[in-house]
Chains A and B, each alone.
Chain A
Amino acid sequence: GENVEQHPSTLSVQEGDSAVIKCTYSDSASNYFPWYKQELGKRPQLIIDIRSNVGEKKDQRIAVTLNKTAKHFSLHITETQPEDSAVYFCAAIPGFQKLVFGTGTRLLVSP
């Protein structure tokens, strides 16, 4: 089955710095890759997603890149702010209705 690996597990940055989280997947059939943000005690919420026919997508301070050949995709957050502190999950859908999550990255943005 699909296996999604995510690195790093924790990431500490100073406010204003950039943060990059990387994921790799194993199933070449996967073609939808969402990213979720989970604040403490809250539900995971989608922040950005990318489909396999696109190499990059940007939404204000966040961007996602996808390399289908290498089977990896990354989340980039620029000009980080303290409210970006949360756990971030990448995910992939390898088959019918099965969203497989990475292991999560705890991002801490210090003022």
Chain B
Amino acid sequence: DTAVSQTPKYLVTQMGNDKSIKCEQNLGHDTMYWYKQDSKKFLKIMFSYNNKELIINETVPNRFSPKSPDKAHLNLHINSLELGDSAVYFCASSPGHNTEAFFGQGTRLTVV
């Protein structure tokens, strides 16, 4: 019974390609996020969605496009991948404001 699940777990791709990461939560939460964790382990928020609506876009390049078909899903599509996009991407969800965020297992993206 995985609460927040994301696929794939590993993704290796060439520069210039387009790829997607999928995320689903079965917790009934209203809010979902994408975080990027770089090689130094910094966790930076990229996007926040509440009930399918974009709430926060932290100056992420527009090559990154999140899509939320319903409040249980938040997918991340990345166009024209660059070497600097290599990182671990975490999806997370929370029931609302000022509450704990539950993380998915992460997707390790490697751009070669």
CA–CA, A104 and B101, complex, Å: 17
Instruction: Report A5-57 residues with CB < 8 Å from chain B CB.
Output: 31-32, 34, 38, 42-46, 49, 51
Question: How distant is the Cα of A89 from the Cα of B37 in the complex, in angstroms?
Answer: 12
Q: Contact: A43 with B98, CB < 8 Å?
A: no
Taking a contact as CB atoms under 8 Å apart, the answer to whether A43 and B42 are in contact is no
In the complex, what residues of A have CB within 8 A of residue B45's CB? Answer: 98-100
Asked whether any CB of chain A lies closer than 8 Å to the CB of B55, the reply is yes
Chain A: number of interface residues, binned into ranges: 20 to 34
Whether A99 pairs with B101 at a CB distance below 8 angstroms is yes
Residue A103 contacts which of B33, B42, B92, B96 (CB distance < 8 angstroms)?
B42
Contact assessment for B90 and A43 in the assembled complex, using a CB-CB cutoff below 8 Å: yes
Say yes or no for B27: interface residue by CB 8 A criterion: no
Within 8 A of B (CB), among A53-111: 87, 89, 93, 96-101, 103-104, 106
Asked if residues B100 and A49 are in contact (CB atoms below 8 Å), the reply is yes
Distance A34 CA – B99 CA, assembled complex (angstroms): 9
B97 touches A93 (CB 8 A): yes
Docked pose: A110 CA to B56 CA in angstroms: 41
Contact flag A44-B98 (CB < 8 Å), given A89-B43, A103-B42, A104-B42: no
CB pair A98 B48 closer than 8 Å: yes
Q: Are B105 and A43 in contact (CB under 8 A)?
A: yes
Q: State the CA gap A28–B111 with chains docked (Å).
A: 39
User: Complex formed: what's the CA distance from A60 to B31 in Å?
Assistant: 30
- Scan residues 80-112 of chain B and give those whose CB is less than 8 A from a CB of chain A: 90, 92, 94, 96-101, 103-106
17 A-B pairs besides A34-B101, A99-B101 with CB distance below 8 A are A31-B98, A43-B90, A44-B43, A44-B103, A46-B100, A46-B101, A51-B98, A89-B43, A93-B97, A97-B33, A97-B50, A97-B56, A97-B97, A98-B55, A99-B45, A99-B94, A103-B40
14 residue pairs bridging A and B, Cβ less than 8 Å apart? A31-B98, A32-B99, A38-B41, A49-B100, A51-B98, A96-B55, A97-B33, A97-B55, A97-B56, A98-B56, A99-B92, A99-B94, A103-B40, A106-B41
